Structures are given as C-alpha cells and as structure tokens.
Amino acid sequence: MRCGQRRRHTRHHHSCRSRIPIWTPDRRPGNGTSRRRPHDDRVRRAARCRARRIQASGVTARSGADGRRLYGQGCPLACALDVLGERWTLLVIRELLLGPKRFTELGTALPAAGPNRLTTRLRRLQEAGVAEKTPAGAYALTAYGEGLREPVIGLGLWGLGLMPDIHTVEARPDMVALVMSGAISPTLLSDLEVDVEVTTPEVFTMSVRDGRMVVRSGPSGSPATSRLRCISTEFIDLSLGAMTLSDKLRSGDVQIDGDVDRVSRLFDHFAVTAHEHLSHA
C-alpha cells in the first residue's frame, strides 16, 4: 500500500512538472523555436495572397546576374533605381561629383559603408557605365555618370526640407558648396569669374565661369586663386547669410588671400540662394 502511494505521488509529480514551461537556451521565445502565433499565420497567408495576385498579373520582379532583386518594369525610373537604389550608391556618386577619389578617400568619407559593400557598389557602378577607374587608380564619373549631377544635387536641395536645423548637424562645407552650385541662379553668376580655394580644414575649390559654379575636392591649380581659411561653422554661416564676409574678416574668424571683393560677392549670392530655398523648405 505504501509503495502504491509512492507511485501515485510520483505520477502526480511528473504530471505537474509537464505543465511548467522549461526554457532552455535554444528554445526560448524569439529564437525561432517558439510556437507560431495566429498573427504569424495571418502574415504568411497575406504574403501568399499578394504573391498569387502578382503572379496572376504577369508582372514579376527579376533577379540580376549578381542576385540583386530588380523591379522588372519597363519604366525609366525603375531602371534607374535598379542601378542607384541600393544603400550607399547615391552617396558614392555624391563623393565622385567632387572629382576623382581613391578607394581609401571614399572609405574615409563613408566609413559606415564598410570596404566590402563599398567595393560592391563601385563594381556595379562600373558595370552600369556610371563610374570608371582612372589610370592613376582613382574612381571617377564617366560622361554618362556626369548626367547625374543635376538630379543628385536637386535631390540634395529637396533634402534641405528634411533638415530641421542645418547648424545642429555635422554638415560638410564641401557638400554645402556642392548643393549651392546646383541651387544658385546662373543670372547671379553671369558677371562673376573667380576661383576660391577653401580650407576648413578640408580643402576644396569653388570655380565660377560663364554663370556656372563647379566644386572640386583638393587645391586649385590656378595661380589667380583666392584662398579662404576658416572652420566649418564659419563657412556655413557665410553660405547661409548669417554673417557677412566683412564681419568675419573684422572678427578674425576668416582669413582671405586674394580678391576679397569677388569672394564677398559670391557669398552674397549664396545667402540670397539659401534664403530662397530655405524659406520654401
């Protein structure tokens, strides 16, 4: 009798333990081994329904030779996004708009991209005929790739409306100048011809000719270049019209070697342009 009681107690003990969930490291919820929830089933059913509708319509996404998912649509915008739509690709083009860059320079400008992803993006741009490798070992935009200058800078202008305060972000002076080159009216620059080498301490050159401004990384090769030295925030203040060049020169925050009048006129045009675009942002 005592033995039977012991057996019944053992059975009851095991039946109680079976109701207690025991989480082991490989069976905790979230590790892919937990029981499927009704919500997961609904999501799967909805995905299957979408797949059936797409299949019935006859429009399906395609995969590229390298495994990328393509839009598979006979649309110029979709074709452009097949090349430019991946993360970091447009930022690589942004850097190349400033002139040829070596791989290490691109890696310094885009550290979060990582060398493997950067290599992949550059290879795909080369395959699409957008970029090429120069004999000096640098990457540069082709003539076809230069066609992206206006739309990419235009996209940057549109992005100004998404920046609550340009002073509170880590803005790069060369990028501010690049956006200005696409925003400024050729009419304002029609009577101005100047080369300005800017050190912030990054070095880039702004060249104005025939109503058009071009921004390039690196020092200027022109002997008649005016040289401007200041910190990044001072350059942004000048570009946005927060302060005039004469005020900055008097305070000693900015130093110029060269034609002060022409440089001052250029920043005055910057201020007018910034006011026009930021007031609509």
Quick check: 242 and 208 in contact, CB under 8 A? Answer: no
**Which secondary-structure segment (H or E) carries 229?**
strand 226-229
Domain 150-278: give its CATH architecture: 2-Layer Sandwich (3.30)
Which pLDDT tens digit goes with each residue over 87-105? 999 999 999 999 999 999 9
| Residues 73-146, CATH architecture | Orthogonal Bundle (1.10)
Residue 95 — φ and ψ, nearest 5°? -65, -40
| Structure confidence by residue, pLDDT tens digits, 153-169 | 999 888 877 776 665 45
β pairing state of 203-209 and 131-133: unpaired
Domain-wise residue ranges, the chain: 73-146, 150-278
Write out pLDDT tens, residues 5-64: 555 554 544 444 445 444 444 445 555 554 555 556 776 676 666 656 655 555 445 555
